[in-house]
């Protein structure tokens, strides 16, 4: 009989703890190069279980300060990133790059400004435009809905500095070269090449062992961006999601998209429907079936590829 009020009280405590002042559970950073750290987040969509955290926040320690790339999905995730970053250096964060408009990559900006109010935030001009025109509220609400309100208290801190294709940012002895596109993963994507260390931060233009949600992008653009990533011949590739590594996982993505698009093209010309194409292409791509998000994104990609071909 006494159990009910006790449980109710516990439930109240739990929900009172989650929210504006919370911090995502700690994930350790990996030192991937002399001055570069990456927290490889768990793969999957934001959820209560992962407390919204599922991307790859990274930072580079320069002589003048720290450059952060994609500080995470919420203020709670960003605070965890700040705490981990502080274990690796006492220097302040001076710059933040956001690779694209999807909120899992930039809603952590708020936590950076909490700690270092003068940090400069940089992104694709179309990312800034979209964020100012409603993508901010869209992603804040989506993140809250998917995590049962865990990310509540997160505010949109929208970058103010635009990065152009080919532009180089020289920061503390390091060169950050921008490779941007308007038709790849989100149509607002930056890939950031750290020239001296030959590291390419691909954003979500390349994922590692994960089937991409391409609802905001195009196949043509993502294939072009994957080719470009390979052509840059980096020593290390840091994807938006999944483990960092050499060019092998980038080449795997290239084969995946080339196969999917050419097969859809072939069967579309034969007058086949998406449900007829699906088992044929699934068989051709069976090596990819254990990749993250296969179930949620593979079928959708076939429908999206058909739409794209119809618009040609």
Binding site for Zn ion (CB under 5 A): 102, 104, 204, 240
Closest to Zn ion by CB, 36 or 202: 202
CA neighbor of 18 nearest in space, from 155, 148, 156: 148
Residue 203 Cβ vs Zn ion, minimum distance, rounded to whole Å: 8
Rounded-to-integer distance, Cα 188 and Cα 41, Å: 22
Question: How many Cα atoms are found within 13 Å in the side-chain-facing hemisphere of 27?
Answer: 25
Rg (CA), the chain: 20
Closest to Zn ion by CB, 62 or 210: 210
Residue 73 Cβ vs Zn ion, minimum distance, rounded to whole Å: 8
Question: Which three-class secondary structure state does DSSP give residue 240?
Answer: coil
Closest to Zn ion by CB, 204 or 308: 204
Closest to Zn ion by CB, 29 or 41: 41
Outline where DSSP puts E strands in 153-257: 161-162, 168-171, 174-181, 189-194, 199-203, 236-239
Question: Which three-class secondary structure state does DSSP give residue 271?
Answer: coil
Which residues make Cβ contacts (< 8 Å) with residue 155, sequence separation at least 6?
Answer: 75, 110, 140
Closest to Zn ion by CB, 144 or 188: 188
Residue 99 Cβ vs Zn ion, minimum distance, rounded to whole Å: 8
Residue 142 Cβ vs Zn ion, minimum distance, rounded to whole Å: 12
Closest to Zn ion by CB, 128 or 267: 128
Instruction: Show the DSSP H helices in 28-134 as ranges.
Output: 75-86, 103-106, 109-115, 125-130
Residue 183 Cβ vs Zn ion, minimum distance, rounded to whole Å: 17
Residue 117 Cβ vs Zn ion, minimum distance, rounded to whole Å: 26
Name 97's bridge partners: 69, 122
């Amino acid at each position: 009989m006494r159990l009910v009020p006790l449980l109710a009280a516990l439930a109240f405590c739990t929900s009172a703890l989650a929210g504006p002042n919370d911090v995502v559970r700690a994930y350790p950073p990996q030192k991937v190069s002399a001055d570069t750290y990456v927290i490889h987040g768990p793969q999957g969509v934001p959820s209560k279980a992962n407390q919204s955290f599922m991307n790859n926040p990274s930072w580079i320690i320069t002589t003048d300060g720290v450059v952060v790339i994609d500080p995470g999905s919420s203020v709670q995730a960003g605070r965890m990133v700040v705490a981990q970053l502080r274990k690796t250096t006492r220097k302040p964060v001076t710059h933040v790059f956001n690779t694209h408009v999807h909120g899992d990559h930039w809603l952590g900006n708020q936590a950076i400004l909490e700690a270092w109010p003068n940090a400069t935030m940089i992104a694709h001009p179309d990312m800034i435009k979209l964020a100012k025109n409603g993508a901010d509220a869209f992603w804040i609400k989506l993140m809250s809905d998917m995590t049962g309100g865990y990310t509540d208290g997160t505010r949109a801190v929208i970058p103010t500095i635009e990065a152009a294709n080919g532009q180089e940012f020289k920061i503390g002895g390091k060169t950050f070269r921008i490779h941007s596109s308007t038709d790849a993963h989100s149509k607002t994507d930056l890939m950031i090449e750290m020239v001296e260390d030959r590291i390419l931060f691909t954003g979500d233009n390349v994922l590692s062992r994960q089937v991409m949600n391409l609802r905001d992008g195009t196949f043509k653009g993502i294939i072009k961006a994957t080719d470009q990533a390979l052509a840059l011949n980096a020593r290390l590739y840091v994807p938006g999601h999944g483990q960092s590594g050499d060019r092998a996982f980038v080449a795997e993505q290239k084969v995946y998209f080339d196969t999917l698009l050419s097969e859809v093209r072939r069967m579309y010309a034969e007058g086949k429907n998406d449900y007829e194409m699906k088992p044929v292409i699934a068989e051709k791509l069976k090596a990819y079936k254990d990749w993250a998000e296969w179930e949620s994104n593979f079928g959708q990609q076939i429908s999206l590829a058909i739409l794209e071909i119809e618009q040609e």
